[in-house]
């Protein structure tokens, strides 16, 4: 989806978009953020594709300052409103790859949740590169991406889900979204210059798939992949 399409979702973000920091059902994000050594005295959070600012609202107290990037002006306006009580936030209304230059290599934790979904590999690569560029060596990134394994599970239990397209692409309403297999996420992160530390399922409600909980076969529900990864020290990332 392009910036105009995202902008049109600003008013209905909560119903139309899976805001994982709000929807997750098992508090996985708190556990992963706790696993990172952070200090409210000097740690820096960079949230790339911050949406309406839910992650910032939940976790800003672990950081001294926050930089939030979002290219849809009406969405970032909502994030600012939601975060009026959050001190020291720098809001950048711009495309993530361009923002990396202005931000610099400052992040103790870089968050990029459900943003690397473009069907274009080149666009996804430019976001992986931006994540590597803003994250300090040996610091961390928390990445959430749609799961292809979950999509297959949803297709099995639902009669009318459309089949996946080649390359992990899935048709969602009017848009095509990239989904990742676990192994693909691991190898992509490695090529981007990160060592994956923990990778887990982050569950969200069935309603986000437009479904009720199925009687059987649905496990703990649909999920995204969440990965906490450590930026390699002094190694230039290869093209993911």
Ligand X SMILES: C[S@@+](CC[C@H](N)C(=O)[O-])C[C@H]1O[C@@H](n2cnc3c(N)ncnc32)[C@H](O)[C@@H]1O
Q: Which residue has the tokens 């934790």?
A: 109
CA distances from 229 to 7, 47, 135, 190 (A): 30, 15, 11, 9
Nearer to ligand X, 54 or 237 (CB): 54
Minimal CB distance to ligand X: which residue? 51
Q: Provide the edge-to-edge strand list for the sheet that holds 194-203.
A: 89-92, 65-69, 44-48, 107-113, 135-146, 223-231, 194-203
Query: Rule CB under 6 A: is residue 181 a binding residue for ligand X?
Result: no
Nearest-angstrom CA–CA distance, 69 and 112:
10
- Please state, in angstroms and as integers, the Cα–Cα distance from residue 70 to each residue in 19, 76, 107, 183, 230, following that order: 14, 6, 16, 28, 23
Between 21 and 157, whose beta carbon lies closer to ligand X?
A: 21
Mark the segment that binds ligand X (CB under 6 A) among 16-24, 26-34, 178-186, 188-196: 16-24
Least distance (Å) from ligand X to the CB of residue 69? Answer: 6
- Within 64-123, the residues that bind ligand X by CB under 6 A are 69-72, 75, 95-96, 113-115
Shortest CB 73 distance to ligand X, Å:
10
CA atoms within 13 A on the CB side of 215: 0
CB of 209 to ligand X, least distance (A): 15
**Residues in region 22-51 near ligand X by CB under 6 A:** 49-51
Distance CA 20, CA 28 (A): 10
What ranges in the chain are assigned the alpha helix state H? 3-8, 13-16, 20-23, 28-34, 54-59, 73-82, 96-103, 121-134, 148-157, 182-191
Main-chain phi, psi angles of 119, to 5 degrees: -70, -15
Among the residue ranges 19-27, 59-67, 149-157, 190-198, the one whose residues contact ligand X (CB under 6 A):
19-27
User: How near is the Cβ of 211 to ligand X at its closest, in Å?
Assistant: 19
**Minimum CB–partner distance for residue 159 and ligand X (Å):** 26
Q: Is 20 in the site for ligand X (CB under 6 A)?
A: yes
Q: Which is nearer to ligand X, 174 or 234 (CB)?
A: 174
19 near ligand X, rule: CB under 6 A: yes
**# residues contacting ligand X (CB under 6 A):** 19
Which residues bind to ligand X, rule: CB under 6 A?
Answer: 6, 17, 19-21, 49-51, 54, 69-72, 75, 95-96, 113-115
């Amino acid at each position: 989806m392009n910036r105009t399409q995202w902008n049109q979702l600003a008013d209905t973000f909560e119903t139309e978009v899976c805001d994982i920091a709000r929807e997750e059902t098992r508090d996985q994000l708190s556990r992963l953020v706790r696993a990172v050594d952070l200090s409210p005295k000097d740690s820096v959070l960079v949230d790339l594709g911050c949406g309406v600012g839910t992650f910032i609202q939940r976790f800003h107290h672990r950081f001294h300052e926050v930089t939030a990037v979002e290219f849809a002006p009406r969405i970032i306006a909502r994030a600012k409103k939601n975060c009026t009580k959050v001190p020291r936030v720098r809001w950048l209304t711009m495309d993530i790859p361009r923002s990396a230059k202005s931000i610099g290599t400052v992040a103790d934790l870089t968050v990029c949740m459900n943003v690397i979904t473009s069907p274009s590999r080149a666009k996804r690569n430019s976001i992986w590169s931006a994540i590597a560029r803003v994250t300090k060596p040996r610091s961390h990134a928390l990445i959430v991406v749609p799961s292809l394994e979950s999509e297959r599970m949803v297709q099995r239990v639902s009669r009318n889900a459309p089949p996946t397209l080649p390359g992990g692409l899935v048709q969602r309403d009017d848009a095509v979204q990239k989904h990742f297999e676990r192994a693909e996420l691991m190898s992509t992160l490695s090529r981007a210059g990160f060592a994956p530390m923990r990778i887990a399922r982050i569950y969200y409600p069935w309603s986000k798939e437009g479904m009720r909980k199925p009687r059987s076969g649905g496990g703990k529900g649909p999920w995204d992949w969440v990965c906490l990864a450590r930026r390699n020290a002094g190694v230039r990332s290869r093209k993911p």
